Amino acid sequence: MRRDKLHLASFVTPGDVHIASWRQPKLRYERGSDFGMYLDSARILEQAKFDLLLLGDVPANAQDPIEMQSRISKYDMLDPLTVIAALAVTTRSIGLAATGSTTYGEPYHVARRFASIDHLSGGRVAWNLVTTANPTEAWNFSRDEHAAHADRYARAEEFVDVVIGLWESWEEGAFVRDKQSGIYVKPEAIRPLHHRGAHFSVRGPLDIDRTPQGRPVIVQAGSSEPGKNLAARVADVVFTAQQSLAGAQAFYRDLKERVARSGRSPDEAVVVVGMLPVVGDTEEEARRKFDAIQALIHPTVALTKTAELMGNIDLTRYPLDEMLPEQLPTGIGFTSRQQGILDYARRNRMTLRQISALIGGTRGHLPMIGTAASIADTMEQWFTQNAADGFLLFPTSLPEALIEFTETVVPELQSRGLFRTEYEGATLRDNLGVPTPSAAFRTATEG
């Protein structure tokens, strides 16, 4: 029986929660660019003692068909790093994660910005490392086409090594600021990176002192083979989309084994499963609430979103009221999701229309629809049977669904001794229970 507590995180990005969330009546915030929505959500999650809130980022919306562009709320969102910088000084304990791409960006920018906000927050920041699944982002960054999956991960491997090397630019206690001697920083404690690789040439050091938690937490969500290998080597938190207990257990076991083979303790990587909760006083009420929001999804939006999550393949060639064929083209982007969606559709004998409606709403994550007790039952089962160390919420509205979950499911989890009632420490690493990785990593990646 596990004696540790499960971990909870939540997306708070408009358009990255339920795709029809903006169409619901009686929303507190109509605009995704309203900072009040982010601040309210952060405070609700912090009061409930969540580990982390996460802001996604897709700086592109040039998707076909044009009808899709006119029916989604992703145009109306704020830059995630700007938001977590603001939240860093308006919250006290909750972790703050923002997405940063290794395909469209530079390591020095990522290292400097996340280190700066880690200082602002007192050690509560995480970098959600992505290689970028949306191929249309290339058009906003002076490129004609998106890099291939293998090329993106090759760049990501070097990118993250450079970022970590920059975060390790200074030994602990390097900044003595001795007014008597005139020494501001001990010269022997400066670690220029001198990195030269296939993609980057970065001298360093970073122009910011070591951060309050040693270095920011790294979050990663790739479930492909390269994605899992990268996560095993460097990630402190690993997000995954799983639709069955057996599938989640297999992923959990595989990932933890890879972490051990990389020379780390399996406990150093927290595995968190995505879930879309809908809570009702009865099972029937919860199902009605879920069906009501699902009914708000336009068929074009559902089909396009599902195609994106299956690797940006063309689903319009297949009949809507038939099951998908066993073999589909290899896509780009979310390549690891395709097989899981196909398996779920076949297992439940769902047509393309049915599976696209479900996937369009849940983004391929686990729907948990029921009472607070039944949802807690499922979470407890997955946690105690080593399918997850915690869960990432995709709420159906912000902040309304967060209020509902934190006022019903969280107390149920706490009453069972599964979730904290107070934060364990001051930093995100303290609360996740993950150590600051050894500075030996820095030496291993020099050269």
- Tell me what the mean pLDDT of segment 253-280 comes to: 97
Q: Do β-strands 195-196 and 201-202 pair in parallel, antiparallel, or remain unpaired?
A: antiparallel
Question: Phi, psi at residue 296, to the nearest 5°?
Answer: -85, -10
- Tell me what the mean pLDDT of segment 23-47 comes to: 89
Confidence at 120, pLDDT banded by 50, 70, 90: very high
Q: What pLDDT does residue 334 have?
A: 58
Could you report the per-residue pLDDT of 174-185, keeping only the tens digit for each? 999 999 999 999
Could you report the per-residue pLDDT of 318-351, keeping only the tens digit for each? 888 888 887 787 766 555 667 778 877 888 888 8
Mind spelling out the 3-state secondary structure of 185-247? CCHHHECCCCEECCCCEECCCCCCCCECCECCEEEECCCCHHHHHHHHHHCCEEEECCCCHHH
Is cis: bond before 107, omega within 30 of 0?
A: no
Using CA atoms, how far apart are residues 392 and 442, in angstroms rounded to an integer?
30
Q: Is the pLDDT of residue 16 over 80?
A: no
Q: Is the pLDDT of residue 66 over 70?
A: no
Q: Is the pLDDT of residue 413 over 70?
A: yes
Whether the Cβ atoms of residue 45 and residue 10 lie closer than 8 Å to each other:
yes
The whole-angstrom distance between residue 170's C-alpha and the CA centroid of its chain comes to 28
Confidence at 146, pLDDT banded by 50, 70, 90: confident
Query: Structure tokens of 153?
Result: 């991960």
Using CA atoms, how far apart are residues 316 and 300, in angstroms rounded to an integer?
10
Q: Is the pLDDT of residue 72 over 70?
A: no
- Tell me what the mean pLDDT of segment 55-59 comes to: 80
Q: Which range (5-14, 345-354, 393-402) has the least confidence?
A: 345-354
Q: Is the pLDDT of residue 50 over 50?
A: yes
Q: How far is CA 443 from CA 164, 198, 269, in A?
A: 11, 18, 21
Q: Which amino acid is at 199?
A: H
Confidence at 3, pLDDT banded by 50, 70, 90: confident
Q: What pLDDT does residue 305 have?
A: 77
- Tell me what the mean pLDDT of segment 256-268 comes to: 96
Confidence at 65, pLDDT banded by 50, 70, 90: low
Beta bridge partners of 274: 392
Mean pLDDT, all residues of the chain: 89
Q: What pLDDT does residue 329 have?
A: 77
Confidence at 360, pLDDT banded by 50, 70, 90: confident
Confidence at 60, pLDDT banded by 50, 70, 90: low
Among the listed residues 73, 57, 54, 58, the one whose alpha carbon sits nearest the alpha carbon of residue 11: 54
Beta bridge partners of 164: none
Q: Is the pLDDT of residue 418 over 80?
A: yes
> How many percent of the chain have pLDDT more than 70?
91
Q: What pLDDT does residue 440 have?
A: 46
Q: Is the pLDDT of residue 442 over 60?
A: no
Q: Is the pLDDT of residue 224 over 90?
A: no
Q: Is the pLDDT of residue 402 over 90?
A: yes
Is the sign of the CA dihedral 316, 318, 319, 322 positive or negative? Answer: negative
* Exposed/middle/buried for residue 244 (C-beta within 10 Å: 0-12, 13-18, 19+): middle
- Please report the domains of the chain, with CATH numbers, ordered by start residue: 7-281+365-444 (3.20.20.30)
Instruction: Tell me the CB-side half-sphere exposure of residue 205, using CA atoms within 13 A.
Output: 18
Q: What pLDDT does residue 143 have?
A: 77
Q: What pLDDT does residue 56 have?
A: 87
Q: What pLDDT does residue 227 have?
A: 93
Q: How many CB atoms lie within 10 A of CB 268?
A: 18
415 vs 143: which has the higher pLDDT: 415
Could you report the per-residue pLDDT of 88-119, keeping only the tens digit for each? 999 999 999 999 999 888 999 999 999 999 99
Q: Is the pLDDT of residue 446 over 50?
A: no
